[in-house]
Every structure is written in structure tokens, then in C-alpha cells.
Amino acid sequence: MHEGTPLLLAESVTVRFGGLVAVDAVSARFDAGELVGIIGPNGAGKTTFFNAITGVQVPTSGRLLVSGDDLTGKGPHRFAAHGLARTFQTPRVFADLPVRDNIEFGLKFAGRRPRKYWLWGEEATVPWTLRDATRILQLIGLSDQAALPAGAVTPSQQRLLEIGMALATRPKMLLLDEVAAGLTESEIEEMARLIRRLRDELDLTVVWIEHAVTVLLRHVERVLVLHQGRKIADATPREVVRNPEVVEAYLGDEMVEGVS
């Protein structure tokens, strides 16, 4: 069914904290251009799994391959250098710096990567949309806020800014951790539409953890469901909402409505 090397392959990833197994032998494959959601109740291990697959948390056991390279046990900078960028549940922006400078910081980070070609660097393969701060601000809808301190914009704009900072590192894969938290329903819908656009226009792989499950299920193509650290489903939204184990563990019958 799959061709070629996956962008990210997690093989039986387990994370233990003392006696607690936060992630229990989870395997998952993410291919180029996919839009995948990860859902599960609180304490299901979603963020710990995210931390493991981005190098923030070293797995207790299991393997992580990024574009075929074994990065198990390597630091987050190695994962970033392989094209992974992520956001955090609490937006990490430089509050005192203008919005534009936050984006510039991400671009400088990308500039520290090894250059493949002396003249063009890696610019030749970078989408036009991500080549400078002005274009990135346009893409995420923050052009009017460019000169404001990042700490002065709304929480939803800070979330957009954090996505912009991640995009500025020119990733192949964008991992979003609850970017809809604390947003209004219309803001969540706008965020979901932006996420789809990023995937479509930039040919990104997007992996999105979200508590706003109904919105996520409407927009993603595949869903991983974690429960008590285990993966209990990995299928299309339509299949997941009809999976008895998922309904029992998490969704409840009301969730089945609205996902066709």
C-alpha cells in the first residue's frame, strides 16, 4: 500500500516514567503529504508520544526513523535538521519581540543548517511562501500585527505565530500539539482550514493532536487513537468513529454524528 521510505516511522515506541508506562509499544508510519490526527482521552499519552517522535523525550525502548535515518535517542535539534518542526500546548513565542522578529528567528534557525549548494543554499527547494517573514506573515494572516510585540497579540494569534515560527524553519513535517486549545468555535474552524491549506500548498506532512475532536475528524484523512498509552486504532475518521473500542474508550455515541 505504501511506497518508498516513510517520512517518520515509529517502531514499538515505549516511554516509561518510573512505574508508569506513558506510551506502550506504539508503532506508526507517517508518509509525505499526509494529514493525520492523533486523539485520545486526557492521559492517553498523546503529548508524550509527540515528545518521543520529535526528540524531546528519549524513548525507553523502540526505534525512530526519519527519512530512513535512525534518530533514536538523538536530541530535538537532530530531528529539526531532518525537517521536523512542532508547536507546544502553550505557545512558545518571544513575547517582547515584534511578531515579525519571531518569524525572523525561525528563518535564522533554518539558515544555520548545512548548505548543500554554495550559491543557492537550499533556497531552490524552498516554496516561495516560506522564503521571507513578509510572505510567512501573509500565509498565517498576521501581516497587520507584524510590528506588535508578540506578547500583545491575542492567544489565537500567538498560536498562529508559533505555527509561523515552525514554518520558518522550512520543515517537511509539521507537528501541532493542541493548536485549537482556548480558541472559539469559529477560530478553531479557521485554524483547521489553515492547517489543510499548509498541507495542500506547501506539500507538508501534518500531524495534529487535538482535543476538539469533531473539528479534527472533519479535516484529517487518517486518525491514530491512543488510550492508556496504547494505540487502539489507526484508520480513516469514518472508520474510527464506528470502531466499538474507540467509542467505548473515548468518543461516546454522540461523536459519530457529523462525520460521514
Could you tell me if 41 and 79 lie in one domain?
A: yes
Arithmetic mean of pLDDT, 215-225: 92
User: What is the per-residue pLDDT for 107?
Assistant: 86
pLDDT tens for each residue of 149-162: 999 999 889 999 99
Q: Which long-range contacts (CB under 8 A, 24 or more apart) does 146-150 make?
A: 146/98, 146/99, 146/100, 147/98, 147/99, 147/100, 148/98, 148/99, 149/95, 149/96, 149/97, 149/98, 149/99, 150/93, 150/94, 150/95, 150/96, 150/97, 150/98, 150/99, 150/102
CB 249 within 8 A of CB 227: yes
Q: Which grid coordinates belong to 199?
A: 498541507
For the ranges 147-161, 182-196, 215-229, 240-254, the lowest mean pLDDT is seen at 240-254
Nearest-angstrom CA–CA distance, 12 and 29: 11
pLDDT band at 9 (very low <50, low <70, confident <90, very high): very high
Q: Where among 152, 171, 190 does a domain terminate? A: 171
Q: What percent of the chain has pLDDT over 70?
A: 87
Asked if pLDDT for residue 1 goes beyond 70, the answer is no
Q: Which residues contact 122 (CB under 8 A, 6 or more apart)?
A: 113, 115, 116, 170
CB-based contacts of 111, cutoff 8 Å, min separation 6: 121
Q: Give the model confidence (pLDDT) of 27-63 as tens digits.
A: 999 999 999 999 988 888 999 999 999 999 999 999 9
| Co-location of 185 and 253 in the same domain | yes
Instruction: Say if residue 31 is in the same domain as residue 140.
Output: no
What's the DSSP call for residue 115? P
Whether residues 203 and 135 share a domain: the answer is: no
Residue 173's nearest CA partner among 85, 234, 109 is 85
pLDDT above 50: residue 130: yes
Single residue among 145, 171, 197 that ends a domain in this structure: 171
> Is residue 220 situated within a structural domain?
yes
Say whether both 37 and 10 belong to one domain: yes
pLDDT band at 173 (very low <50, low <70, confident <90, very high): very high
Q: Output the pTM of the full model.
A: 0.86
The 10 Å CB-count burial string (b at 16+, else e) for 35-74 is: bbbbbbeeebbbbbbbbbbbbebebeebebbbbeeebbeb
Q: Say if residue 247 is in the same domain as residue 124.
A: no
Q: Check whether residue 6 and residue 77 sit in a common domain.
A: yes
Tell me: do 127 and 104 sit in the same domain: yes
4-18: average pLDDT:
94
Identify whether 88 is part of a domain.
no
Provide the CATH number for the domain around residue 20: 3.40.50.300
pLDDT score at 249: 78
Which three cell numbers mark 120? Answer: 543557492
Q: What is the pLDDT of residue 132?
A: 86
Average per-residue pLDDT in the chain?
Answer: 87
DSSP annotation of 251: I
54 and 151 together in one domain: no
What's the domain count of the chain? 2
From 147, 171, 195, the end of a domain falls on 171
Task: Report the percent of the chain where pLDDT is more than 90.
Answer: 61
Do 256 and 176 lie in one domain? The reply is yes
Pair 98, 116 in one domain: yes
Torsion of CA 107, 128, 119, 71, to 10 degrees: 50
On whether both 179 and 143 belong to a single domain, the answer is no
Q: Residue 148's domain spans which residues?
A: 93-171
